[in-house]
Structure 1
Amino acid sequence: MKRIKGHSMLLAAAIVAAGLAAFALHGGMGRTSDRKAESAQVRMAVDPTVIPSDMPFETSPGPATEQATGQSAEPAESQAEIPVEAPVAAPRPPAAQPRASDTPPPAAPSPAPSPAPEALPAGGTITAASLESTSGGFVLTVVGDRPIGPVTHLTLASPPRLVLDLAGAWTLKAPNVLREEDGPVRHVVIGVHPDKLRLVVHLREESLLGRLGDPVSTREGDTLRVTATIAPGQ
């Protein structure tokens, strides 16, 4: 009987010990599961944009992260498969048209060559000269061995004179002084110059110079006549 009781007590004690061990083991596993759940909840609540990437633990995107960002995480391979469109070259602007202001001005015309100096009349020889007084003035006649060219004139005062120039290199084969005893002309002096023959008509009175008209030249072959009129005095 004592042995039976002793075995019963040992069996009961073993059962109690086993129950305590099972309780302790179950309670430890529950705590461990609770800790894991809490750890998972903490990791899910952490904002990966706040915690730097060098933390000792990693965060894995979960449903909460996908709801917060509004998009699901895609693997890198799927992103690599997205084709990248080549950049489209911008159209070239049209070539600028030259403006009127950009057109170079036309080249200035080259200056016309200066005319060659006019050749002087060849001249010749004066073979005769004469003076004739008229009622209204006088006539001076000159004869050459060829036609006589242009004649120019001017007047001088003190003493009163009419100067006639025959263009050309003339030589004189006639008297160089022509005299009148009466009439408006006192005398005529003929002088030879390299480019002209000059005839100086000396008037008899100073008053005649103011009444003397422009001389008029006429030609007949090699003969030149210069006619001068003098207005009547008051």
Structure 2
Amino acid sequence: MTLDLTALKREARRKGTPPERLLELAGIGPVIARAVAASKYVVPEILVQLAESEDWVTRARVAHHRRTPLETLEKLAQDGEGGVLRNLLQNDRLPLCTLSTLAAHPNELVHEGVDRALARALLRGRIAEEDAQTLRELAGEYPYLRPVIARYWRQIPPDLAVQWLSDPDGRVRNAILRRQTRTRPIYRCRRGSSHQLAQPLPLEAVLPLLNDEKADIRELAAQVIARMTQLIDNGVSMRC
């Protein structure tokens, strides 16, 4: 008997198809299993089972699904197929611990995916305060991630900001300086009426960058120093 694959795929994606029927459909073959794994109505329990599929496309769709349990995402981070890992890195629910696992992957394409995924997580505020130590470790162990962390980590510790002013990667130095020119320059301290620079950098740490080999960094350093000097001349305290 000839199967109507189009009808079966439609059934796999249809709202209201019972989980038992979805499992039955997935067992017909890879083509239908892929449709089940991509359905927005599939339950997590079925996705867990499909993550064990021998078909890498099915596993890739499970890796990308918003309903896939975090434990399963962590397991898929060990998958040997690049397509599975690429889809996994596009899943915005991917926890930072899983990104840390993938950061050590030898494939440069995976590195690019980790870089983009980390940027999205930082931009959307999905990195909790308790993840600060993990971010420090990532930046220290994997220099290729340092530029995106320097650029998008909202609460970057002051000691790291100063340290990264002398980073060999010009993108890191640029990101640290640019934060000083893009953030609101002054704000009111909670306990008084004085004002200070947002995440101020020590003047002595910025001065050497006036002689940086990169013109854009020299220009940014001059802007930051001019702002600091103006505030000091106006009697504005840079410390609360």
TM over 0.5: no
Write 1 or 2 for the structure with the bigger share of helix: 2
State the structure with more CA Rg. Answer: 1
Q: TM-score, normalization: structure 2?
A: 0.16
Q: TM-score, normalization: structure 1?
A: 0.16
